[in-house]
Structure formats: C-alpha cells, structure tokens
Structure 1
Amino acid sequence: MQVLADNLKHYRPPVLSPAKSQAVWYSPWTIKETPKGIYLYGDVGSGKTMLMDLFLDVVSGGKKHKNRVHFNAFMLDFHNKIHLWRQNPAAKKLGQDSAVDALVGDILRESPLLCFDEFQVTNIADAMLLGRLFNNLWSKGAVLVATSNRPPDDLYRGGIQRESFLPFIEKLKTNCIIHCLDSTIDYRLLNEKIRDIYYHGPKPKEHLDRIWDQLTECREGEPLVLQLLGRSLTIPVHFRGLARCSFEELCNQPLGPADFRIIAETFHTLILDDIPKLGPGVTRANEARRFITLIDELYNQKVKLVCSAACPPEDIFPREVDEKGKNEVSFGDEEIFAFNRVVSRLHEMQSKAYLESKHVLKM
C-alpha cells in the first residue's frame, strides 16, 4: 500500500486536465502508466478498513477523500444518477451504456482514486452494471482500493446470470493486487465496552425510557417526516438529532438502503426497541436483510445505537440443526458473511472509541 501511495503522488490519468483535477496529492509531473489498485479481503475485524483509512491519511494528507464510500452507498448513488440523467429529453433515446459513459468523467474529476469499503455484489442490477462501469473507469485511468469479506472469485456466487459477471472478476484481478487479511481475532472486540446501551435484560422498555429521559432531559419528542426521492418516511419520535423507533417500524416495513441511509445521515443517535431473534422463515429472512442494511448504514455514518434485544448479538441470527446434526445457517452464503459483519459491528458500536467518534453529517 505504501508503494501505491508513493505512485499516486505523481500520477494523473490522461482523461483529466490539471485544471479539472481536485486531488490534493498531485505534483506537476505525472506517471503515465496507471498504478495497480489493491483489493483487501478477509474476515470481519481483521483490520481491512483500518488499513484503508491509514492509506488515505497518507495519500490525502489527512483531508477527507471524496471518493471513499461504502460500496453499497456508491452503487445506490450511481443508480440514482443514471435515473436523473435519463430525465434529460436528449438522453431518453440513448441506452444505459451512454449514461455510464457520461457519468464516469464526473466520478474521475472528483478523484481518480476510488476507495470502497465492504465491496460486495448481491443483486443482478449491480452485477450487470459493474462490467461496463469499471471497464470504463479503468480505461480512463481509475485506481481502485477496496475491502471485502470475499475473495474476488466468490463475488456474486450463486447469483442470476453469474456467467455474464465473470469477465468483471478477471478484470478486477488484472487491475488490482489481491491480498488476503484473514485473522482469527476480531480486534474491534478488544475495546472497552460501555454498559447497557445494548440491553437484553428484563423490562427493556423501561430501560430505554430511562436512557431517552437522560439524553433529552425528559422531553417527549415528536414525529419527523423525511423526504426521499418523491416520497416521505416518518420517524415516530425525535428530539434534537435523537430518534426512537422499534424494530417493527424499520425492519418489518418495505424500506431499503436509501431509507436507512437518510435516517443515518439525519440522526446522530438511534434508540431501537425490541430487536428479536431472527429465524429461518421468509418473513424473518426479509427482516434480517433489512436489519443488516440498517446496521451497515448506521455504522458507516457513525450513528450511536442504543437498543433493546431478545438476546446477545451472537444469537440474533440463529443456526438450524439439520437431520444429520450439523449446524447450518438457514440463509444464503451472502447473508452468512453479512451476519458475521453485523455481529462484529454491534459489539464495536458499544465501544468507547466508537461512541467518541464524530457523526458523519449529511453533505
């Protein structure tokens, strides 16, 4: 990573002119050959995100990097930009490829270095778009640094039309150095824990009521309506950046990444009531996926989570026992990795270091 950081100090992709580039580490002279990026993968808590943050501190001089985002947020934003681009009357006769071509330049003008945390592909819309998008980015000199729980060959495993996605994997391995960071220790669990903000004891409502009163000086709060892509999302109770919702209100409703993202950007603290054990049924599977997305978005924005639950984090996603007596997770492979990530993050979100981190405000 140090070699890449050194190369980036003198690299400018040919697609950008010096006047348009806003990257802070460029020098007046350039390296013409595009440096290889880095793809770090390994178990949760192995230090992938920490290494990326240290790398960015070096290449950006400690300043916030514009193209350092959670991969899910990047794809959500890119799909939204394609939608807006198509609203232009002149663009309606053109296909998606033209939209991608037009938008790639905007991405690179922010910076040729793209840094993605939690790189994963879980739906066909992203899988079919990635090949065109990244072929275009790499052909114009983009450099990718990414973290993931999966090696490249396991991305989108079992997905619909995966054979059409395989060329992207080969391009990824060509344009990035692939490095495994497997570890048997989740270092995030070593932080000092703060008691009772993840509560699974008796009288959970009374416990969260007391915390609400402490944080709001016994104010009642009121509803807040958030506007999102032409529709509204109602938060039942809020007060000065603090929101309170139940698991039922957020995870048993037809909400998605955009909904959870605007919640995470709007509130610095979320009090969440009644997280249940999530079983193998279809309804529970949908709730589990929404809960995973919710925690990912809260974590990415450094939102402080106070919650009550039916059990410790390790037991939220139970295992079934099959006829042979083997323990098997009753969801797909992608969910297994996501479960482990969420359990790890729920522990980290109780740590003093996390509680002292600054909320990432809506830009």
Structure 2
Amino acid sequence: MQVPLGANGCAYFQFEDLCDRPIGAADYFGLFKKFHTLAVEGVPKFGYHNRTAAYRFVTLVDVMYENKGRLLCTAEAEPIELFENVVTVAEAQKSSPRSSRSQKSDDPDLCVDNELGFAKDRTISRLTELNSREYLEDFEAKWQHPLHAVDNGGDVVLA
C-alpha cells in the first residue's frame, strides 16, 4: 500500500485511496504497524451507491480502534449522519412498509443491508469515542511515554 504522505507516525490519505480500492483488514493492520495516526480527507455519507466503501470504512475504524490509533478526518457529516441511509431489513420495513405508493417515494440511495446496518452502530460509537477528550488524552499519554509502567498485581513492569 502506498502512503501519499507520511512522517513521524502520521499518514495522510484521500478517502478513496483507503476505502474505494480492494483493501482489507490485513492491509489496515499493516498500516497501523507503521502509523499511529491517520488523516483521511473526504469521508462521504454512505448509501447504496458506496456501500462497499462503507464496509471498508467500518473495517478501518475497527482496526484503528483495536490498535488505539488516532483518526483525523474531514467528512460530509457527523458520524450518525454518515450512516443515515444504511438500515437493516427490519428498520426498512418499519419505516416504509411495501405498497404501491411507498415505492414511488423510496430513497434510491437507501442501503438495506443487515450486516452493515448492525455494524454502523458500533462504528458510530467508536468514532464518537475516538473524538472524546479521554480517548485523545490516553492516546497522547501513550505516545509521549511509549515505555509506560503497568501494574501487574503489585509489581511494576515496563510495557
């Protein structure tokens, strides 16, 4: 994977370079072995037209969260609004039961996908936490002091 810009543990990408190409979790894990911070430009609202990119974005956020990384991004909307066109089958049936009238008013970009519909809630939660003061302070402490003391039942071990 080519990194357009990278220095001091930080890497910059356009959203399309990370999520509109056939890239998987292993690629994202490899990225976080070298970079603790990703700056991603242009995260769009997700829907039917870009649901594959939405899956990759969900995977990227999962990997970043598991690696305690930091995400800086520009996006078209707040986390909850990024996924407002992604719903589960049950949510779609509840909000728009099928009839001849409702078909005419259906949103053509509505993405009815159970897997992505359930994953979106976890992603929204993680994006919110990644933006919290506590998470960012923990991140800062970790990277300012990479050799930190860990309490191991009374013994202090360097991690």
TM-score, with structure 2 as normaliser: 0.71
Give 1:46-85 correspondences, 5 Å limit.
Answer: none
- Among 114, 124, 145, the residue aligned to 1:343: 124
Q: Superposition RMSD on alpha carbons, in Å?
A: 2.3
1:280 Cα offset (Å) = 1.1
**Alignment pair present for 1:258 and 2:26:** yes
Give 1:1-363 correspondences, 5 Å limit.
Answer: 233-281=1-49, 284-319=50-85, 322=96, 323=102, 330-357=111-138, 358=142
TM-score, with structure 1 as normaliser: 0.32
Alpha-carbon distance between aligned partners in 2 of 1:287 and 1:239, rounded to the nearest angstrom? 26
Alpha-carbon distance between aligned partners in 2 of 1:297 and 1:340, rounded to the nearest angstrom? 16
1:334 Cα offset (Å) = 1.6
Does the 8 Å contact 1:277/1:316 carry over to 2? yes
3-state SS of 1:270 partner = strand
**Can you give the 5+ residue segments of structure 2 that lack an aligned partner in the other structure?**
87-94, 97-101, 147-159
Q: Please give the per-residue CA displacement for 1:142-180, whole angstroms capped at 9, x wherever unaligned.
A: xxxxxxxxxxxxxxxxxxxxxxxxxxxxxxxxxxxxxxx
1:237 Cα offset (Å) = 0.4
Alpha-carbon distance between aligned partners in 1 of 2:82 and 2:127, rounded to the nearest angstrom? 11
Does the 8 Å contact 1:285/1:331 carry over to 2? no
Does the 8 Å contact 2:44/2:76 carry over to 1? yes
Q: Please give the per-residue CA displacement for 1:114-149, whole angstroms capped at 9, x wherever unaligned.
A: xxxxxxxxxxxxxxxxxxxxxxxxxxxxxxxxxxxx
Q: 4+ residue stretches of structure 1 with deviation over 3 A? A: 324-327
3-state SS of 1:234 partner = coil
Which structure has the larger Rg? 1
Alpha-carbon distance between aligned partners in 1 of 2:6 and 2:127, rounded to the nearest angstrom? 22
Letter in 1 for 2:119: A
Q: Which residue number in structure 2 is paired with residue 30 of structure 1?
A: none
Does the 8 Å contact 2:46/2:85 carry over to 1? no
**Can you give the 5+ residue segments of structure 1 that lack an aligned partner in the other structure?**
1-232
Alpha-carbon distance between aligned partners in 2 of 1:253 and 1:306, rounded to the nearest angstrom? 20
Alpha-carbon distance between aligned partners in 2 of 1:315 and 1:261, rounded to the nearest angstrom? 27
Does the 8 Å contact 1:278/1:318 carry over to 2? yes
3-state SS of 1:336 partner = helix
3-state SS of 1:306 partner = strand
1:313 Cα offset (Å) = 0.6
1:288 Cα offset (Å) = 0.5
Letter in 1 for 2:135: Y
Greater share of helix: 2
1:326 Cα offset (Å) = 9.1
Alpha-carbon distance between aligned partners in 2 of 1:307 and 1:241, rounded to the nearest angstrom? 16
3-state SS of 2:123 partner = helix
Highest relative contact order (Cα 8 Å, sep 6+), 1 or 2? Answer: 2
1:331 Cα offset (Å) = 3.2
1:295 Cα offset (Å) = 0.5
1:356 Cα offset (Å) = 2.4
Alpha-carbon distance between aligned partners in 1 of 2:112 and 2:55, rounded to the nearest angstrom? 10
